[in-house]
Chains A and B, each alone.
Chain A
Amino acid sequence: MNYSAMRNFVRSVLTVLAFALTTVAANSQSGDIDSGEVVYVKRCLQCHGEEGDGLGPAAERLNPPPRDFTLGLFKIKTTAFDEDLPNDDDLLRMIRDGMPGTAMPGWGDMLSQKDMLDVVAYIKTFAELEEEPEIQLDFGTQIAISDESIAAGKKLFEQGDRCTECHGLEGKGDAIKKLKNDNGERTWPRNLTKPWTFRASNDPKDIFARISIGIPTTQMPSFADPKSSKKLSIEERWHVANYVNSLAKVENVVNPENFVIQAGRRDTGLPTTPDDEAWKDAPSSTFIMVPQIVAKQRFFLTANDTISARAFYDDKRIAIYLEWDDRTKSIPGDPKAASIADENLSEDAVAIQFPRIIPKGMEKPYFLMGSATNPVNLWRWSSGTTEQSENGTIIDAMGILDQQPRDDSSGLNTASSYKNGTWRVVMTRSLQTAGQENNLQFEEGRFVPVAFFAWDGSNGETGTAHAMTTWYWLQLKPAADSKPLIYAIIAALLTGAILMWWSWGAQSRARESAA
């Protein structure tokens, strides 16, 4: 067993132990309300508010907003669908592990088990939850993941538009009905291909619980409710859970170690449309996108959290393929798009950012659209309106507020497709251009800084309101040639010759002195 395997093993043993211990402890004691209040005031109040109503100072900048404890309803619970009360263990879990995809962190590494149980006790006072829940969720017998189970789940998922109605054909949450929670706030169906945004996890057991109970305070219903026309048996719910688990993205996931998009050389025809099969041969690099919360006007509630890029080049041009999930195809002027859009509908857009010249040292332009002293090139694609078709524009940006679209962007070609909640866009430009001081010139083997921005026009994202990445790298991977081998042979022969000459000289000197 090597070192890291051993470390992982020890870690998993410890996790299991810790879990066992916390479960035992949680079942055997309940918390102290007064001590819980002390912890709550220090750690929780800023988001959840003094009255537990979720109206802390950051409420309007958080999506989802902090939980309103006065309702006494919780999203992640394991009591039955017709039982409002959660188990203490459910609350403990949310506090200990946090809620992925939200601002709620896991507190297990900062608070003791006792502290967390005390907070559980205190939180329950906001809704005056005093009784214990009576009916637990019946998990039946778990059905293991298998191809048959997943296929059965897929059938049920699509049957009568049961899940696809909101979650879409590929589970990306794109079959839009305008959804809202019990407080009237807009909610979006989960993109089931992004398990890192699941509030609990994408373990089939957790998914089974969500399908069975629904998600309280949202429009996600219970499929265990016998009154539901779409209800499922326990066995069927396990199949759907296994299917949803299988939807997790495999290829377009963030690898935190990867900072480089490798553009392969392809002389057999550069793919310039997103549907070209050739893109399947290019490795995909996926990067995290975060809201533009750096410069005025800050925007906190972006819809998209990742973007994936691939690239190819030939002797003349480079083609960059971008792919990102977007629940809405935002075409201003289109009544259907307008009916789904949050506020004002604007175009969906994406931009690739490059420096004007490949930096010689490590200094790059400012990552957020450059500055007056060190401007950047933006290649911006926008989805178009009913009046104007989609188009690509080259922009000279000298900061987020100083962007000059060029009158002539004919050097940039774009093509796009939107399907089942995913945009795919290809941008193509020649490697070398005229106006060298204003346009990035690509060179084989050189590392070029690259960054991305994206706008979801149905989510109020326009202007400075958008998602962004930090700087990454794009490299035109040189095709293999024979140069290293030739130099290696020359070096070996030269060394051999020198050694022989040395030895020959030394031996003849030795002979002379002996004679």
Chain B
Amino acid sequence: MKIPRLLQAVVVIAGVYFGFLIVFDYLLGAVIPKSLLTMYMFFVAAGVFMVFTYDEEKTRELVAPVKALVEDPAKRGARNLVFTLIPLLIGYSVYSQLQPGFEAPVELRTIHPAPPSTAKIYGKRVNLLSLENPFRKVEKEDPEKFAALVSDGAAVYIKNCQYCHGDKLDGKGPYAEGLNPTPLNFQDIGTIAQLQESYLFWRITTGGPGLPKEAAPWISSMPVWQNFLSEEEIWKVILFLYDYTGHRPRSWEH
């Protein structure tokens, strides 16, 4: 039996719609924003319409059931039913859309915004593109001294950072739940493992207020660490973050 082309079109569009929901909401676990879904579905519907109206005969085939429903005196019963249901559905949708919403406004922010090429840190202009951890080279030259530097960094971390980022560097410190955005999880492969040490230096020294606008600096509770710690202490903390998690910093070569 041949499936009517109108039904085919409807099935294709519905299939794509539920496909989106399954992939995003269930498989990826990230609910797709309604506005984005609406936009995608607009393009999908437009595309399907173009394919299904490719030539005149196909168009005629597509609209035939609609035409029949509207014109054919024999389909009166079906027509009355459809023409009652559609206004009711539209009325309901208007009604529910005009209900006042109690959902908090959605706030989107970039978690790892692109760094500026230079930043003012400790009162001087620093080129973030060429900035390197002055202690990194010790790792090869003198492993024992390097271990001591890491241990210094650990002390700075425990004294200053663990309250939010956690003893385990998993972003679950004792105060993490009271903050929004929640503190970063350094164990996660998507955080410091993807970043250069200069990026961490920039983020730590200038803190929440030093973020560019797309990263919503007004909500981040990351302190401006250049007000509390020395440059050396911050480089040592960075050594500790990579050492403890076993991640390697990104560099231009990699």
Contacts and interface: CB of A to CB of B under 8 A. Distances in A.
Given A56-B158, A57-B159, A362-B105, A289 B178 contact: yes
Interface string A424-443: 00000000000000000000
B83 A503 contact: yes
Contacts of B175: 290-291, 293
B221 A294 contact: yes
A471 B108 CA distance: 15
A478 B228 contact: no
A293 B223 contact: yes
Contacts of A487: 94-95, 98
B248 interface: no
B178 A470 contact: yes
A61 B99 CA distance: 49
Contacts of A368: 221
Contacts of B102: 260, 262, 475, 477
Interface of B: 67, 70-71, 73, 79, 83-84, 86-88, 90-92, 94-96, 98-100, 102, 104-105, 107-108, 154-159, 162-164, 166-168, 170, 172-175, 177-180, 208-209, 213, 216-219, 221-223, 227-228, 244
Given A56-B155, A57-B156, A495-B90, 10 more contacts: A42-B244, A103-B173, A362-B105, A364-B218, A447-B105, A473-B104, A484-B98, A493-B87, A495-B91, A503-B83
Interface in A287-316: 287-291, 293-296, 298, 300
Contacts of B172: 105
A500 interface: yes
A92 interface: no
A488 B98 contact: yes
Query: For chain B, what secondary structure do more than half of its interface residues adopt (helix, strand, loop), or is it mixed?
Result: helix
B83 A489 contact: no
Contact of B71 (A374, A493, A507): A507
A487 B94 CA distance: 7
20 contacts: A58-B158, A103-B162, A107-B168, A110-B168, A259-B180, A293-B223, A298-B223, A362-B107, A364-B219, A368-B221, A445-B100, A470-B179, A475-B102, A477-B102, A484-B96, A487-B98, A491-B90, A500-B83, A507-B73, A510-B71
List the 7 shortest-distance A-B pairs measured between CB atoms, nearest first.
A492-B91, A288-B178, A484-B98, A488-B95, A290-B178, A290-B175, A46-B158
Nearest to A491: B94
B163 A293 contact: yes
A448 to B, nearest CB: 11
Contact of B90 (A110, A473, A492, A500): A492
Interface string A81-121: 00000000000000000000011110100100000000000
Contacts of A46: 154-155, 157-158, 167
Nearest to A41: B151
Nearest to A56: B158
- Chain A: number of interface residues, binned into ranges: 35 or more
B95 A485 contact: yes
A21 interface: no
Residue with the greatest number of chain A CB neighbours at <10 A, chosen from B90, B166, B167:
B167
Contacts of B170: 110
A478 B98 CA distance: 12
Nearest to A302: B175
Contacts of B100: 445, 477-478
B177 A363 contact: no
Contacts of B91: 488-489, 491-492, 495
A211 B166 CA distance: 31
A471 B180 contact: yes
A506 B70 contact: yes
A503 B70 contact: yes
A43 B221 CA distance: 26
Contacts of A25: none
A110 B246 CA distance: 13
Given A46-B154, A46-B158, A491-B94, A506 B167 contact: no
A244 interface: no
Given A57-B155, A58-B158, A296 B228 contact: yes
